[in-house]
Structure 1
Amino acid sequence: MTASTPAVAARVGKFRWRVCAMLLAATTINYIDRQVLGVLAPFLQDEIGWSEIEYGYIVMAFQAAYAIGLLCAGAVIDRFGTRIGYALAISIWSLAAMGHALAASVLGFILARFALGLGEAGNFPAAVKTVAEWFPKRERALAVGIFNAGSNIGAIVAPLMVPIVAAAWGWQAAFLCTGALSAIWLVVWLTRYRPPEQQPRVSAEELAHIRSDPPESTVKVPWLQLLQHRQAWSFVAAKFITDPVWWLFLFWLGKFLASEYGLSLATIGPPMIVVYLMADVGSIAGGWLAGRFMRLGWSLNRARKGAMLVCALCVAPVVLVTQVDNLWLAVGLIGLAMAGHQGWSANVFTLPSDMFPRQAVASVVGIGGFAGSVGGMAMSFFTGAQLQSTGSYSTIFLIAGSAYVFALVVVHLLAPRLEPARFELPRANGA
């Protein structure tokens, strides 16, 4: 059996990685669409005339809708499948992204961001569920890390593209151009994607590799059943505690760099690109690290949490960023923190598929994402109020740097061994 393993591995196809590439493209577009406002915020603030607190309300509108959307998206995707569920989500967010071009006031941006949040909420539940359908557990963290890198690619593309488009045709054109990318992806998804068993380009060997984990229960799990398990709460807690830090970087990084280092629309791009390039490396490295630990013989529990600890320690030095006078040293600290966050996310997003059957993964991800968005709303309100009253980021970055180690402790207390959740559900007719 051992001697035949290399030969079997050599015959395993790679179509599942093409699916991962589609998820990478969708996540990239997702973050391009949401990051346009983050790039233009310091300059739209002058044109529209919003205050720090009003900008916090605009950000909170997106997060509130994102939270609501995640609660619905997970259930919809689990019910209708990834192909249709993903298509519905990206249709909504494409229209909403382009709808920003119609906004001319704080209220207009609040409405546009709310609609965008509803649509974009479907991306991660759909992508994580797709990974659970297409990859065995030992490959999932790497696959999640790869598609999650799209969040950084999108955040790199946005500061490259948005200032050029805005300078040439106005800020409205930036929203229109980026929103159109979603529609292109939608056509490709609907024409190319099928589940593994229905995809003719998947070999029998690759399908066997995809399904090489022990069989999972096919019983549909109601939400109330999910929330009775500590494993679900470990994921919810991880998202609630650490997602707000990512929201902080996403929507306030441009404002922080502009206010602290005097950057303009023409000069803000390179520092933001460096930060998100570092985050890209962290996203893939965090997923790779857990797999590497498992190849060394570590248990799933030890490997996953070991990788999360490394990532958490990478975030901690960001507490010093407000004491730094040099722009590029500040960029390095923030970039390291964002790399740590993305590596952390690559592992946290695999927790639902580590502990729950595929039929429940999108719902668990949706519930956790809801918690993360609620935490993000609280962070946005706090950040806006803190900046309005003191103008200082010190307390904000202190919270950000300490969140991940605290979250890891909570995860370990709730799921000390990452054991699969056990369900005793009746297999009744129509269940």
Structure 2
Amino acid sequence: MSFRRGWIALFLFSLSMINYMDRIALSIAAKPIASEFKLTAVGMGYLFSSFIWSYALFLLPMGVLIDRFGTKRMAGVGIFVWSAATALTGVASSFFGLMAARLVMGAGESTSNPVGAKVIRQWIPANERGMVTSMFNSGSYAGPAICSVMLGSLIALFGWRISFVVAGATGFVWLAAWLMFFDAPERVRWLKNDERDRIVRERDSKPASTADAVPESSGLLSLLRTPTLWGLAITQGCNVYTQYLFLTWLPSYLQTSRHLSITHTGLFSAVPYAAAVVLCILVGRLSDQYLKKSGVGTGRRRNAVALAMLTGAAILAVPFTSNLIGLLLVFSITLTGIASTTSLNFALLNDLLPNSRDVAKAMAFVVVGGNIFGMLAPIATGYVINATGSYDWAFGIAGILLLVGATVVLTMTRSPMSVNRSASTTRVAV
């Protein structure tokens, strides 16, 4: 991006990248942790899932607080809390210590997605929203790609505890840069006036059916009356189930079923995650081009969401793939599909939401929907492995949910989230 708002895209990409580095650190270290604390597959499933419990619990309150107090302050609080909790995971001396650190980490991370959506709405013209949302979301795949290699090597050399300290410390570097440079486009001094004017003029394109109305802010309860918001949340859930299956169990699957070492697991995992980063951004750009003539307010981005979910359903081929090169290809296609689904679904939410003051709370609800499914994925997978001695049905369940999600997004997101309320004054919060 040749404009200075590109720095905002970089901030969001790196925020998401650090977020997911901290999430996957436990998965990379799963084998030595399970050995040290004598945990079964079911026990590891609950440990993998634990951070999502507090994450989902805090999402809606954080969405409201972000809309109230702004992105700069709340993003800073969030990354401070989750980075400290990640670092402290490395000194845990019991299973319950690990659980406590993961629960605190999840609470801190609940700020990330609502902050990202709000910042995109504040800073990015509507016709660039798909690509920048894809850049933000692709950070969640760059994090595991980098972390798989870096932390895998650290664990092999120095043990699992140091990996959490390194992952946590990275967040404090980001926090310092954020506090020094970020603010609303109306306030930052490093933005040129013509670019500032364009951002403010073009960031609030309205859905087609409300083009002649003044968009007004709605409370969460009012938004919940719109089937579109529920459709977006269910779609997100069907997608996130697969994301967390990969995020929590992929290293263990490669080590136990494909007999790879921790170091080779990291290298193998990094390839499909890295492919998803590049292809996800490309898909986001293509979705912006697809909507260039009709406009984002038509909601036609739902077609791209459905196509991405059908692509992700390639995961159904995993049980029938014995060759490691073929498996790498299937994982790359699947991760590209689910990465693109998340970014496109987030962009679709912004497309169909008239007022920017509702973005964080609406995004929080959609992410809650996703993480209800997400918290089930590690636990359900643990039980499936225990019951069958295989990962086959774990991949099968994920593929079926992606097909369901494609149907939901095509049928439940066909109108904007517009609620008539009396006009209210607005103020800029960052």
Q: Answer yes or no: same fold by TM over 0.5.
A: yes
Instruction: Give, in whole Å, the separation in 2 of the partners of 1:409 and 1:363.
Output: 25
| Alignment counterpart, residue 382 of structure 1, candidates 380, 383, 407 | 380
Cα shift readout 1:115-152 (whole Å, capped 9, x = no counterpart):
11111111111011101100121111100111211111
Cα shift readout 1:143-166 (whole Å, capped 9, x = no counterpart):
011121111111111111112222
1:334-373 correspondence runs (5 A): 334-356=331-353, 357-373=355-371
Confirm or deny: 8 A CA contact 1:275 1:332 kept in the other structure: yes
| Alignment counterpart, residue 30 of structure 2, candidates 36, 41, 59 | 41
Confirm or deny: 8 A CA contact 1:282 1:338 kept in the other structure: no
Amino acid at match of 1:310: L
Local SS of the residue matching 1:325: coil
Bigger mean CA offset, 419-428 vs 68-77: 419-428
Is residue 212 of structure 2 the alignment partner of residue 223 of structure 1? no
Confirm or deny: 8 A CA contact 1:23 1:147 kept in the other structure: yes
Identity among equivalent pairs (%) = 26
Question: By how many angstroms is 1:196 displaced?
Answer: 0.4
Instruction: Give, in whole Å, the separation in 2 of the partners of 1:408 and 1:340.
Output: 11
Give the aligned partner of residue 5 of structure 1.
none
Give the aligned partner of residue 406 of structure 2.
408
Is residue 129 of structure 2 the alignment partner of residue 140 of structure 1? yes
Instruction: Give, in whole Å, the separation in 1 of the partners of 2:86 and 2:327.
Output: 31
Question: By how many angstroms is 1:56 displaced?
Answer: 1.1
1:138-217 correspondence runs (5 A): 138-213=127-202
Bigger mean CA offset, 90-99 vs 289-298: 289-298
Instruction: Give, in whole Å, the separation in 2 of the partners of 1:107 and 1:282.
Output: 39
Instruction: Give, in whole Å, the separation in 1 of the partners of 2:337 and 2:180.
Output: 36
| Alignment counterpart, residue 115 of structure 2, candidates 105, 123, 126 | 126
Give the aligned partner of residue 232 of structure 2.
235
Give the aligned partner of residue 254 of structure 2.
257
Instruction: Give, in whole Å, the separation in 2 of the partners of 1:298 and 1:289.
Output: 14
Is residue 380 of structure 2 the alignment partner of residue 391 of structure 1? no
Is residue 76 of structure 2 the alignment partner of residue 78 of structure 1? no
Q: Structure 1 length as normaliser, TM-score? A: 0.92
1:17 to 1:27, Cα distance in 2 relative to 1, 3 A: same
Bigger mean CA offset, 309-318 vs 146-155: 309-318
Instruction: Give, in whole Å, the separation in 1 of the partners of 2:24 and 2:323.
Output: 25
Cα shift readout 1:70-123 (whole Å, capped 9, x = no counterpart):
122211111110100100110110111111012233222211111111111111
1:387 to 1:180, Cα distance in 2 relative to 1, 3 A: same
Give the aligned partner of residue 323 of structure 2.
326
Give the aligned partner of residue 209 of structure 2.
none
Give the aligned partner of residue 30 of structure 1.
19
RMSD, matched Cα: 2.2
Q: Specify every segment of 5 or more residues in structure 1 that has no aligned partner in the other structure, as ranges.
A: 1-11
Confirm or deny: 8 A CA contact 1:20 1:147 kept in the other structure: yes
Local SS of the residue matching 2:268: helix
Cα shift readout 1:222-268 (whole Å, capped 9, x = no counterpart):
21111111221122111222211101110011011111110111211
Amino acid at match of 1:288: R
Bigger mean CA offset, 243-252 vs 200-209: 200-209
Confirm or deny: 8 A CA contact 1:286 1:344 kept in the other structure: no
Instruction: Give, in whole Å, the separation in 2 of the partners of 1:116 and 1:210.
Output: 34
1:215 to 1:242, Cα distance in 2 relative to 1, 3 A: closer
Confirm or deny: 8 A CA contact 1:43 1:265 kept in the other structure: no
Confirm or deny: 8 A CA contact 2:312 2:399 kept in the other structure: yes
Confirm or deny: 8 A CA contact 1:94 1:182 kept in the other structure: yes
Confirm or deny: 8 A CA contact 2:316 2:396 kept in the other structure: yes
Q: Specify every segment of 5 or more residues in structure 2 that has no aligned partner in the other structure, as ranges.
A: 207-213
Question: By how many angstroms is 1:218 displaced?
Answer: 7.4
Instruction: Give, in whole Å, the separation in 1 of the partners of 2:174 and 2:316.
Output: 39
1:395 to 1:26, Cα distance in 2 relative to 1, 3 A: same
Is residue 308 of structure 2 the alignment partner of residue 311 of structure 1? yes
1:392 to 1:169, Cα distance in 2 relative to 1, 3 A: closer
Give the aligned partner of residue 89 of structure 1.
78
Aligned length: 418
Instruction: Give, in whole Å, the separation in 2 of the partners of 1:90 and 1:302.
Output: 33
Confirm or deny: 8 A CA contact 1:291 1:303 kept in the other structure: no
